[in-house]
Amino acid sequence: MRVTALAGGIGAARFLRGVRAALPDADVTVIGNTGDDITLHGLRICPDLDTVMYTLGGGISAERGWGREGETFVVAEELAAYGVGPSWFGLGDRDLATHLVRTQMLDAGHPLSDVTQAICDRWQPGVRLLPMTNERVETHVVINDEGGQRAVHFQEWWLRLRAAVPAQAIVPLRAESATPAPGVLDAIGEADVVLFPPSNPVVSIGTILAIPGVRDAVARTPAPVVGVSPIIGGAAVRGMADACLTAIGVETSAQAVGVHYGGRGRGASSSPGTDGEQARPAGLLDGWLVDTVDAAAVVPGAVVASRPLLMTDLPATEAIVRAALELAGV
């Protein structure tokens, strides 16, 4: 079975461990968000790609959910001793090796998709990890503060400001001129099932969908498309997805996120357009899996199912994945 998942960071990585456990023989392709990427000290850092790679490859810090197990921060301490920041982005010594290898390969002209494959050769995540694009698309956040209106890098808003300063706008810079990385559109069009893990609908899944061609590929794939809500009972399970949803005017609820993605209406309603060409589907989802507390959620054009969604451990996560696959009918 060919599974394709659009993935952000920590929540998606944990979900993908469940996918691998539920479908040990499946070919899994992960399309990773690179809008969180940042260049620090001349090094290119890809947080969401690394979080998926480390989590599935066995190197993740279980305590933090990001970065390496057994990490030390001596280089970061030395940088701080020189007064060189930023202090709000924790650069671990082991993690630095990943950024050094990635940066030297990028500087040698290798595209990010090849670099990611090369780094994954060490970690053997058991999935094909593709960046959403090989071009640099960085999420920046427009805020109003004492300095007036300005844009800060997503990581600064997320880590230094803890998303506590309202975002006037969340902008994936240069997404409109980017192209999907090799294999991305085929992975969506040729999948047996497409999954939206419980990632941030705005800065993770939303950023991937902002790459020209990706949203259309999901809307048109013959594969069933099923998403898992990152919101339970009106609150984000992790991270600060609520701050991101508020920024785009979407209520922080499982129903609102499902409606935001939109149902595909694969049922009777998807009649051909007037000129006979298949009408462009309204949304992306055939199925939306919500927690039992949100069982009343309605997403027009999609089937809603509910079950406990807290990924407390691997068996719980695997059960959630099985429920999503059942909703997909695969």
* Enclosing H/E stretch for 306: strand 303-306
DSSP codes joined into one string, 73-136: -HHHHHHHHTT-S-TTS---HHHHHHHHHHHHHHHTT--HHHHHHHHHHHH--SSEEEESBSS-
Q: Does 131 bind ligand FO1 (CB under 6 A)?
A: no
Measured from each CB, the residue nearest to ligand FO1 is 90
Distance from the first to the final alpha carbon of the chain: 9
Give how many residues touch ligand FO1 by CB under 6 A: 17
Of 6-14, 78-86, 288-296, 302-310, the window that binds ligand FO1 (rule: CB under 6 A) is: 6-14
- Where do the H-state alpha helices sit in the chain? 10-22, 47-57, 74-81, 93-107, 112-123, 154-155, 184-189, 205-209, 214-220, 241-247, 254-261, 314-328
Binding mask 67-106 for ligand FO1 (x = CB under 6 A): x---------------------xx----x-----------
Residue in the block written with tokens 């020209």: 212
User: Which residues does residue 304 pair with via DSSP β-bridges, in sequence order?
Assistant: 288
Binding mask 138-177 for ligand FO1 (x = CB under 6 A): -----------------x--xx------------------
Instruction: Give the residue with the Cβ less far from ligand FO1, 43 or 309.
Output: 43
Of 24-32, 45-53, 178-186, 306-314, the window that binds ligand FO1 (rule: CB under 6 A) is: 45-53
3-state secondary structure of 231: strand
CB 241, min distance to ligand FO1, A: 10
| The binder of ligand FO1 chosen from 5, 6, 7, 10 (CB under 6 A) | 10
Of 2-10, 70-78, 182-190, 254-262, the window that binds ligand FO1 (rule: CB under 6 A) is: 2-10
Q: With beta carbons less than 8 A apart as the criterion, state whether 303 and 287 touch.
A: yes
User: How many CB atoms neighbour CB 109 within 10 A?
Assistant: 7
Instruction: Give the residue with the Cβ less far from ligand FO1, 26 or 241.
Output: 241
Q: With beta carbons less than 8 A apart as the criterion, state whether 213 and 186 touch.
A: no
Interface of this chain with ligand FO1, residues 47 to 66, rule: CB under 6 A: 47-48, 50-51, 66
Tokens linked to 267: 């049922």
CB 120, min distance to ligand FO1, A: 15
Instruction: Give the residue with the Cβ less far from ligand FO1, 202 or 328.
Output: 202
Binding site for ligand FO1 (CB under 6 A): 8-10, 36, 45, 47-48, 50-51, 66-67, 89-90, 95, 155, 158-159
